[in-house]
Amino acid sequence: MDENTYAEELLAFFKALSDANRLKIIGLLAREALSVEQLAEMLGLNSSTVSHHLAKLSKVGLVSARAEGYYSVYHLELEALTNLAQRLLSKEMLPAVAADIDVDAYDRKVLNTYMSPDGRLLAFPVQQKKEEAILRYIVRAFEPDRRYSEKQVNDILSRFNEDTARLRRSLVDFGLMQRQGGGGDYWRVERRPLTTGESGLPRQQGQGATPR
User: Which CATH number does the domain housing residue 129 bear?
Assistant: 1.10.10
For position 94, which CATH number holds? 1.10.10.10
Q: How far apart are CA 187 and CA 197, in angstroms?
A: 22
In-domain check, residue 177: yes
Please identify every stretch of the chain with a pLDDT value under 50, giving residue numbers as ranges: 193-210
Q: Which sign does the torsion angle of CA 59, 63, 66, 72 carry?
A: negative
Per-residue pLDDT tens digits for 141-185? 999 989 999 999 999 999 999 999 999 999 999 999 999 876 679
As for how many domains the chain has, the answer is 2
CB 160 within 8 A of CB 123: no
For 39, the domain range is: 3-98
Q: What value, to the nearest 5°, has the Cα angle with vertex 168 and ends 166 and 171? A: 105
170 and 89 housed in the same domain: no
Task: List strand residue ranges (DSSP E) for the chain, in order.
Answer: 34-35, 63-68, 71-76, 147-148, 177-179, 186-188
Residues 6+ apart with CB under 8 A from 177: 139, 142, 153, 168, 171, 186, 187, 188, 189
DSSP structure class, residue 202: P
Per-residue pLDDT tens digits for 88-100? 666 665 565 555 5
